[in-house]
Amino acid sequence: MRETQVRDAYDRPLRDLRISVTDRCNFRCVYCMPSEANICFMPREQLLSFEEIVRLAQQFAGLGTEKIRLTGGEPLLRKDLVQLVKMLYEIEGIKDIALTTNGVLLKRYAKDLYQAGVKRVNISLDALDDEVFTVMNGVGARSGQVLAGVDAALEAGMTVKVNMVVKKGMNASQILPMARFFKEKGIMLRYIEYMDVGSSNGWNMEDVVTNKEIRDMIHAEMPMEPADPAYFGEVASRYRYVGTDVEVGFISSVSEAFCSSCTRARLSADGQLYTCLFADKGLPLKPLLRSAASDEEIQGTLRAAWHKRDDRYSEERVSYYESGRQKKRIEMSYIGG
Ligand code: SAM
Ligand code: SF4
Ligand code: SF4
């Protein structure tokens, strides 16, 4: 049942729910789950069932959530994902179901996912050049495999955006080739600043190429003009290539934090609720789901968690590092990007 919209300690509404459906992945991206890191995946029996995910999503919808994004790990590795999408699509109040994927399995699933209700997909691709890309993804995947996923999503009717994380010394050489390619293709490319999520990637500020640097590089060759944000809380600042209707986006989580408009909650595959990508602990919802708790009680727990939310890590990052304080970090592949 739909209640009035819940707001957190900084008056931010709860609009989006990111559901991580698995922590496993077929890539080992250097900035997320590097091959050398000793990552322990959760045993399958710890995953929430589809019924449990849907029950939670219904309660989120009751609190004002309108958008769901399926993520991971690699969400397309979760068995029967299409079935989950169909179930989520039925929920009253959910207006949008999107997916974030590395794209290699998309060719197989795009059509069914679209028919089940996924109308938008973000596909991660960090380089066109295979020498660079294979180092970035750590498993020898080729950019052509991801581009086949992009084409399959477009053919299925999905709106496609491409995400590129830039890590200095690794794929910065691909900034312009990627911009040219996706401008030509008419697809929005979004540059994401390399973030200090988790601890396995050994993040260092010196490895970050700021979006200002990237914007300047692109603008020098392909002039851009600012485009209006599509909605409140949009994380990317959008630009349009002059004389075209092709947009390009910049997600500057490190250099220009956007916590004040962050409306996202995250659910891990084993049912922990996180109110920030950088939260050091989650709220375990599985015990509640597997108890005799009513829907109202579950919704009350979610409402209370959001109500007291005061996360704004990206705005506080500099002071964290300056003070030398240590922060426990949950891996991105676990919490869902
Ligand atoms: N496996 C899927 C994929 O890669 O699209 C979905 C999960 S992934 C964790 C979601 C997004 O987080 C991807 O676009 C990825 O590039 C981004 N990401 C992962 N680690 C990151 C980091 N350290 N800094 C910035 N973005 C990161
Ligand atoms: Fe896998 Fe996505 Fe993390 Fe890369 S960014 S390792 S594709 S979860
Ligand atoms: Fe949202 Fe936390 Fe990121 Fe700030 S740091 S934008 S609160 S997820």
Q: Where are the alpha helices (DSSP H) in the chain?
A: 50-62, 81-89, 106-116, 130-137, 143-156, 175-185, 211-221, 286-289, 295-307, 313-323, 332-335
User: What residue ranges define each of the domains in the chain, with the CATH number in brackets?
Assistant: 16-335 (3.20.20.70)
- pLDDT tens, position by position, 44-71: 999 999 999 999 999 999 999 999 999 9
Ligand 3 residue neighbourhood (C-beta within 6 Å): 258-259, 262, 276-278, 311-314
Q: What is the distance between the alpha carbons of residues 78 and 289, in angstroms, rounded to a whole number?
A: 21
Residue 290 tokens read as 């597997």
The reply to whether 124 sits in an annotated binding site is yes
The reply to whether 69 sits in an annotated binding site is yes
330 vs 136: which has the higher pLDDT: 136
Q: What is the distance between the alpha carbons of residues 73 and 58, in angstroms, rounded to a whole number?
A: 23
Q: What is the distance between the alpha carbons of residues 221 and 128, in angstroms, rounded to a whole number?
A: 19
- pLDDT tens, position by position, 85-116: 999 999 999 999 999 999 999 999 999 999 99
- pLDDT tens, position by position, 185-242: 999 999 999 998 888 888 888 999 999 999 999 999 999 999 987 776 678 899 999 9
Whether residue 323 is predicted with pLDDT greater than 90 in this model: the reply is: no
Beta-carbon contacts of residue 335 (< 8 Å; ≥ 6 apart)? 20, 197, 266, 268, 274, 277, 279, 282
The reply to whether 31 sits in an annotated binding site is yes
What's the chain's average pLDDT?
93
Label residue 324 by pLDDT band (50, 70, 90): confident
Residue type, 217: M
- Residue 73 Cα: closest atom of ligand 2: 8
Q: What is the pLDDT of residue 3?
A: 54
- Residue 336 Cα: closest atom of ligand 1: 9
Label residue 331 by pLDDT band (50, 70, 90): confident
Of all ligands present, the nearest one to the C-alpha of 200 is: 1
320 vs 122: which has the higher pLDDT: 122
- pLDDT tens, position by position, 227-245: 987 776 678 899 999 999 9
Q: Read off the pLDDT of each residue in 165-182 and give the average, rounded to a whole number.
A: 97
Q: What is the distance between the alpha carbons of residues 46 and 80, in angstroms, rounded to a whole number?
A: 17
Q: What is the distance between the alpha carbons of residues 99 and 81, in angstroms, rounded to a whole number?
A: 11
Q: What is the pLDDT of residue 247?
A: 97
Q: At what angle do helices 175-185 and 211-221 cross, to 10 degrees?
A: 60
Residue 182, CA atoms < 13 Å, CB-side half-sphere? 29
Nearest to 235 by CA among 85, 139, 100: 100
Label residue 2 by pLDDT band (50, 70, 90): low
